[in-house]
Amino acid sequence: MKIAVTYNAGQIFQHFGHTEQFKIYDVEDGKIVTSGVIDTNGSGHGALAGLLAALGVEVLICGGIGGGAQMALKEANIKLFGGVKGEADKAVECFIKGELEFDPNAKCDHHGEGHYHEEGHTCHSHNCGK
């Protein structure tokens, strides 16, 4: 099984669509056998789901995530565990043990009304937020 975690300096990065790195874990027989950090090369939102699918990722652990990205992951058959905070390695270990605490309704809710992303669209246009 391949597990990806949004990653920044050992921690779970809290906005899926803006993550600059993923840490990818290969898990066999309930143990991490390899792991490594990859750059997203500026990909964002839906393109990140394609990147993960191309790598054979089956599970994503992340912090906040917008509705559009959630749909892209679902279409790529990647199981989402959102709303997770803390150390990436520890989160994967907890997932393997079946003890990961996550929010099945995690959304990117750090925006206020009228907030614009750098791409020039509002939060309302991609279903993230309140």
Tens-digit pLDDT profile for residues 35-48: 999 999 877 666 89
For 27, list phi and psi in degrees, rounded to 5. -120, 130
- 13-72 residue pLDDT tens: 999 989 999 999 999 999 999 999 999 987 766 689 999 999 999 999 999 998 888 999
Residue 12 pLDDT grade (very low, low, confident, very high; cuts 50, 70, 90): very high
Return the pLDDT at 126.
33
pTM, to two decimals: 0.81
Decide if 54 contacts 42 (C-beta within 8 A): no
Cα–Cα distance between 116 and 69 in angstroms, integer?
17
CA separation, residue 8 to residues 3, 58, 103, 129 (Å):
16, 20, 20, 22
